[in-house]
Amino acid sequence: MICEICVDSAEGVAAAKAAGAARVELCASLIEGGITPSRGMIRAARKVPGIKLHVIIRPRGGDFLFSDAEFAAIAADIACAKEEGADGVVIGQLTADGLIDVPRTRELMALARPMAITFHRAFDMTPDPFAALETLIELGVDRVLTSGQEASVLEGLPLIAALIERAGDRIIVMPGGGITARNVARIVAVAQPKEIHFAALELEAGGMRFRRGHVFMGGELRPPEYDRLMTSETAIRSVIGQAG
């Protein structure tokens, strides 16, 4: 079974490789569910050898209905990922009615090939998951990332198992969202996925000695200014070990 680790740094890529993961999904701003990382970050991540690199292409947080200007940025970012040697991209476009945006997805796939194509958890915002699955299969998408249209994989497990059965060998259905060492064995036993996707983050104190604790650079969510979540090699090994 292939394990894909969601990371937001070159250090995270190195940790995933050291823990035995096959692939990473490189993102920025995980607090928003992941947005497109910079060219510099992609380049730094690509310097870690021996592990596949997929890059999320998402211009902002929020919904998956993108303006013409945002779509142009998405196309440019796919070209950037290809130029920097990424193995795949992770995309997701919906219509206002929550359906897969077929024309735009087809256009982006043509730009991206021969890189691998993953359709991300925009899938979880579609009204009919089985119809959306068939649409992605018809488009020729390689895999779809899903929590089973629930807040976490554990809650969405019945749907995930049904999607995997329906998909057969036509597309990879990759569970992702809340997978941990405590629940991964159950998820694997019930759904029998070929691939799984998870983050393995631990809070690490930053190196700043001088701190002004009442000043924040972000908005109302206000993540810690001097600490950050770092991908943990130990946590990845734990999940992989429990996955069997």
Q: Which domains does the chain have, with CATH numbers?
A: 2-243 (3.20.20.380)
pLDDT tens string 53-104:
999 999 999 999 999 999 999 999 999 999 999 999 999 999 999 999 999 9
pLDDT tens string 176-220:
999 999 999 999 999 999 999 999 998 888 888 888 887 777 666
Could you give the angle at the alpha carbon of 151 between the alpha carbons of 149 and 157, nearest 5°? 60
pLDDT tens string 17-46:
999 999 999 999 998 899 999 999 999 999
DSSP assignment string, 167-216: HTTSSEEEEBSS--TTTHHHHHHHH--SEEEE--EEEEE-S-SS--TT--
Residue 159 burial by Cβ neighbours in a 10 Å radius (0-12, 13-18, 19+): buried
The pLDDT assigned to 223 comes to 63
The pLDDT assigned to 203 comes to 86
* Poorest-pLDDT segment among 40-44, 138-142, 226-230: 226-230
The pLDDT assigned to 226 comes to 64
Total residues belonging to the chain: 244
Residue 160 burial by Cβ neighbours in a 10 Å radius (0-12, 13-18, 19+): buried
Q: What are phi and psi of 88, to 5 degrees?
A: -165, 165
**CA 144 – CA 229 distance, rounded (Å):** 26
